Amino acid sequence: MKRRQGWLFFIIFLLTLSIYLLINYPLQLGLDLQGGSQLTLQIIKEEGKVTRDELEAVNSVIDKRVNNLGVSESNLQTLGGDQLILELPGEQNPLVASRVLGKTALLEFRIQKEGTSKDLKTLQLQRLSIKELIEQYSFEEKNQNNDNFLKVIQDDLKDIEQELNYSSTSNDLYGMLIEIKKYVDKEITNLFIKTDLSGKDLINAGRRQEQTNSNWEVLLTFSNSGGEKFAEITKSIAGSNQLLAIILDGESISEASVGNQFASTGITGGSATISGNFSAENAKELEVQLKGGSLPLPIEIVETNTIGALLGSKNILKSLYAAISGLIFVGIFMIFNYRILGFVSVLSLVLYGFFNLALYSLIPVTLTLPGISGLILSIGMAVDANILIFERIREELYDGNTLTRSIDSGFQRANSSIVDGHITTLLSCFVLFLLGTNFVKGFAATLGIGVLISLFTSLNCSKTILRFFTTYQSLRQKYLYLPKNNFSN
Amino acid sequence: MKYNLELIKNKRKIISFSTFLILLSLLGILYSTFNTSYKKPINLGMDFVGGNELRIERVCEEECSNVSPDLVLENLREISINKNFINNIKLQFQNNNKLISIRTPYLSIEESNNLITNLDNIIGPLNYESKDSRLIGPKLGKRLLTNCVTSLLVSLFAISLYITIRFDKKYALFALLALFHDLLIVFGIFSWLGIILSVEVNTLFAVSLLTIAGYSVNDTVVIFDRIRENLKSKEEGYNETIQLSVNESFRRTTFTSITTLIPLLSIILFGSYSLFWFSLALSSGIIVGSYSSILLAPSLLLKD
């Protein structure tokens, strides 16, 4: 008896501890419950697997970019060796994040090949007209104008294609425009030779509004060696008709000449500006990308989930209804069928609920919708163990054994079945957790934790509570344990 | 209250019934593979093929006006830059025209945002706080599918291994037979649901199959445990002992299923819509699972 009382105090202690934990360390809610966006970024590697170092490198660049973007409370984690998951809670638009994060942001400085001035001029003109066509197209589309305008754009595009001696393969007009633009960008880049100066030589980037108009420019600050390289490069082409191009991800964003006055020393001071008709937004995005450095491997955004805050709170409410009504009806069912024993199982279920939630806040487990369904489902499984035991107890009682003996052997004999059953469920949870996606992991975690805790509550807590009840003479009547109509036979 | 299931007498009926269910499932799977637009054994949802799913509510003063989905699509077609996806768009109104639900092929975040802006222009104002948008690239979809299939295979293997070590060969074989019977039937149910109601299966369906696997084996193990225990102690014949054991554990198995079904039913009734089919799959698995644990698996053990 002493030992059992020890258990009773231990259980009360655990309950108090759980409540204390839950009050002081509130549960972490997933984005489907609090609203927000989740982006899955996939690292693209043509050959071989993404190594740990590469994953770390990509992770650190993305992390810097996210921080510089100024989104609040974001959370970045790696998943499965070649994916990253970025969570943006609240009503933050994932659009900007996706634009800034998705680009490799490989910055190059290139010098124009000699004797290509004429070619470059033609290409620059073509690039300008394509840009105009794209703008025109978007404008016409938005204003629902008739097909004549589209025809004009199409004809203009055909002319450019002819000049370029290139024909596009896309089947819609917008796709064709984008394809031609890419082709022109590539042709322009090909007119320039690589130098050893790149984005790696930057130590900072900034932006400011140009004085003469409302456009923005991006400021680059080089490291010491970068500054020297920049001076060297500018010196080599100063006063010539060769241009210096700044190329971002294969697209030239600025081509500029270097004046004769820099012929002796080059441009010193370790900084440069890119002024390429940036809007405030574009300038900020480029700044963030350059500050974070270029990605060692390109990434692609393969999944985006956005949940409005209102929908999130609705989801919480719905889950709460489901959980509570589930508990109540299971409770009614148990008490109806097992009387006092049923009441004991309800008490241990309540304990079960508290222990589970306390563990979630302790580990911590982020609660998501699938997670909650795992928890609700595990209520049923937790009761399962109780039912096994109670059935055994009833059988013993029918066989005419005393209450105390029936309870003892009921718990003892149900043991092996319970452990077996739990192991198969745990196996499934374990596999789910190892191989599953983030979404599935929530379910596997709560179900797995639930199954483990239910071993403790249904075996130990139920037994202790039952023992405690049976110390009262008035609670030891057999009819309190067996429904009356069955008691007669 | 003693139960008296006449297992020995009804062995043939039980086995024919299960065979019928299995054939029905196989028929659904075959029909789905050859006679549907998606040509897959089961209607794979967005998680596996990629795409864009958007649900958003309109802000209406009292009741939301009735708008025909075709009209919305026509307007969308006129103002959208990328015409490609408009041809494959599915649009529905639910909740008295309040809730708009849209499925399209994969869109970038930018395109998806444009779509919402365009919708707002056509049938707005929209309540952005109620937005639920999912974009899944086709590459990720393929990967999720492989992941799910691998998880299923690995855990089935692990469970089989455990059962084989834990029981002797005959018990293990029949427990596993019952398990595959359950999984096949649940799969078949969703094949049919896909054919008739175009219900799609997502990652959560794979999760439910895995959970059912654990659960069904659990149920069978409990009954087989009882059979083994009784075979050691009871004097009656082999077949009678099996029948007795099943009747002894009948209450336990049905009660357990009921206490698991109750919470699932509350998710179906009160829970979020995203968990509806998941709970339904689990419920059907638990019902089929208890049937196979109580009736099928022990019947297979009976000697002729």
**Residue B82 near residue B111, CB atoms below 8 Å:** yes
* Contact yes or no for A141 and B80 at CB 8 A: yes
Distance CA A58, CA B293 (A): 50
pLDDT in the model for residue A288: 84
Mean pLDDT value of segment B211-236 = 86
Residue B110: partners with Cβ closer than 8 Å, 6 or more residues away: A95, A98, A99
* Contact yes or no for A377 and B248 at CB 8 A: no
The pLDDT tens digits for B94-103 are 877 888 888 8
Range 84-123 of B in CB contact (< 8 A) with A? 84, 108-110, 112-113
Residue bearing tokens 């444009």: B114
Distance CA A136, CA A15 (A): 68
Distance CA B184, CA B186 (A): 6
- Average of per-residue pLDDT values in chain B: 87
- pTM score of the predicted model: 0.82
Give me the percent of chain B exceeding a pLDDT of 70.
Answer: 96
More confident residue, A316 or B124: A316
**Residue A299 near residue A102, CB atoms below 8 Å:** yes
Q: Does A305 touch chain B (CB under 8 A)?
A: yes
Identify the burial level of B125 via C-beta atoms within 10 angstroms of its C-beta, where 0-12 means exposed, 13-18 middle and 19 or more buried. Answer: exposed
Helix/strand/coil for B133: strand
Identify the burial level of A45 via C-beta atoms within 10 angstroms of its C-beta, where 0-12 means exposed, 13-18 middle and 19 or more buried. Answer: middle
Q: Does A338 touch chain B (CB under 8 A)?
A: no
Regions of chain A where pLDDT drops below 70: 1-4, 91, 140-147, 276, 435, 438-439, 483-489
Residue B164 has pLDDT above 80, yes or no: yes
pLDDT in the model for residue A145: 55
Q: How many helices (H) and strands (E) does chain B have?
A: 10, 4
Compare CB distances from A377 to B218, B222, B282 and report the shortest one's residue: B282
* Contact yes or no for A431 and B151 at CB 8 A: yes
* Nearest residue on chain B to A443, alpha-carbon basis: B207
**Residue B35 to chain A, least CA–CA distance (Å):** 30
Model confidence band, residue B86 (pLDDT cutoffs 50, 70, 90): low
**Residue A468 to chain B, least CA–CA distance (Å):** 25
Q: At what angle do helices A52-69 and A94-102 cross, to 10 degrees?
A: 140
Distance CA A446, CA A367 (A): 9
Number of Cβ atoms within 10 Å of the Cβ of A122? 13
Return the minimum-mean-pLDDT range out of A158-167, B75-84, B292-301: B75-84
pLDDT in the model for residue A487: 44
pLDDT in the model for residue A1: 52
Residue B153 has pLDDT above 80, yes or no: yes
Distance CA A167, CA A183 (A): 10
Q: Which chain A residues have a beta carbon less than 8 Å from that of B219?
A: 421
Range 81-140 of A in CB contact (< 8 A) with B? 91, 93-95, 98-99, 137-138
The pLDDT tens digits for B175-203 are 999 999 999 999 999 999 999 998 999 88
Residue B260 has pLDDT above 80, yes or no: yes
Number of Cβ atoms within 10 Å of the Cβ of A252? 24
Residue B21 has pLDDT above 50, yes or no: yes
Size of interface A-B (CB pairs under 8 A): 239
Residue bearing tokens 């699938």: A370
Q: Which amino acid is at A140?
A: E
Residue bearing tokens 């510089």: A68
Question: Does a cis peptide bond (omega within 30 degrees of 0) precede residue B125?
Answer: yes
Q: Does A415 touch chain B (CB under 8 A)?
A: no
More confident residue, A432 or B251: B251
* Contact yes or no for A308 and B128 at CB 8 A: yes
